[in-house]
Structure 1
Amino acid sequence: MAGISDIVDIGTKQSEHFEGEHFEYRVAPEKLIAGDPLQTLTQCYTSPCGQFSTGIWASTPGHWRVNYTEMEYCEILEGVSVIRDEAGAAKELRTGDRFVIPSGFKGTWEVVESCRKIYVAYEKAA
């Protein structure tokens, strides 16, 4: 049975310490369109089955291709990004925006001003 100690807090302030695995990485060359964005990922929680995860993602400016196999809820904590679908339709994302990216979305993600977001992802079982 789960109790209070099993609740996972996910901080939102840059100065807060986040529990979980922390990674720094660059966009893979085959996905990169422009820039050389440095990205960080702090995975705060992954379910035992591995299909559900949440954490904090951040990136410096750059532009790259995306292909979502998971469904992802996002909340932009700071910065400005533009996400475009394969047809070129664009959506600007700013601090405070909350949205869901559906599984199967293909397009590009461009960070215009360094960006941080909370994400919650669900990957359907194969």
Structure 2
Amino acid sequence: MQKPIRLLADGNPETGFGPSSLVAENDFTTDDKTETISSFFESRDEKISVGVWECAPCREVIEAYPVDEMMTVLSGSLTLTDADGSAQTFTGGDTFFIAKGTPCTWEITQTLRKFYMIAA
């Protein structure tokens, strides 16, 4: 039986943070290329995942966002620019959603830490 899971901004105390490799090395915009992840939950079919992700400043042009994802920014700053050029900046406490297939430019301007819930 699954119990409710308390998400902690400092990551899963049982597993900690490990390396993540979602961002291409050339997309980092500073000498810091740190990217880590701490998983709290993954469904048996691997279609749902929940955790904390942290990444140094980077900029990626994403033709089609690969998953449906809801995020809450814990710290740092992220600017998302839509295909039409309109930009939104998200900082600590902001929660937002990106639908699978959304074209956007993803730019972390200050090291970002976020809760995420992904539906693949």
Structure number with larger C-alpha Rg: 1
What is the aligned-residue identity percentage? 24
Task: Kindly provide the amino acid, as one letter, of the partner of residue 56 in structure 1.
Answer: V
Aligned to 2:52: 56
Residue from 4, 9, 12 that aligns with 1:7: 4
Unaligned runs of at least 5 residues, structure 2: none
Closer, same or farther: CA 49–15 of 1 in aligned 2, 3 Å: closer
User: Quick one: which amino acid aligns to residue 82 of structure 1?
Assistant: T
> So what's the TM-score if we normalise by structure 2?
0.81
The aligned runs of 1:22-101 (5 Å cut-off) are 22-25=18-21, 27-29=23-25, 32=27, 34-35=29-30, 37-66=33-62, 67-101=64-98
Could you tell me how far apart the structure 1 residues matched to 2:22 and 2:30 are? 10
Question: What is the TM-score of this pair, normalised by structure 1?
Answer: 0.78
Partner AA of 1:77 in structure 2: L
CA RMSD between the two structures:
2.5
Alpha-carbon spacing, 1:84–1:91, altered in 2? closer, same or farther (3 Å): same
How many corresponding residue pairs? Answer: 118
Pair 1:112 & 2:112 matched: no
Answer 1 or 2: which has greater strand percent. Answer: 1
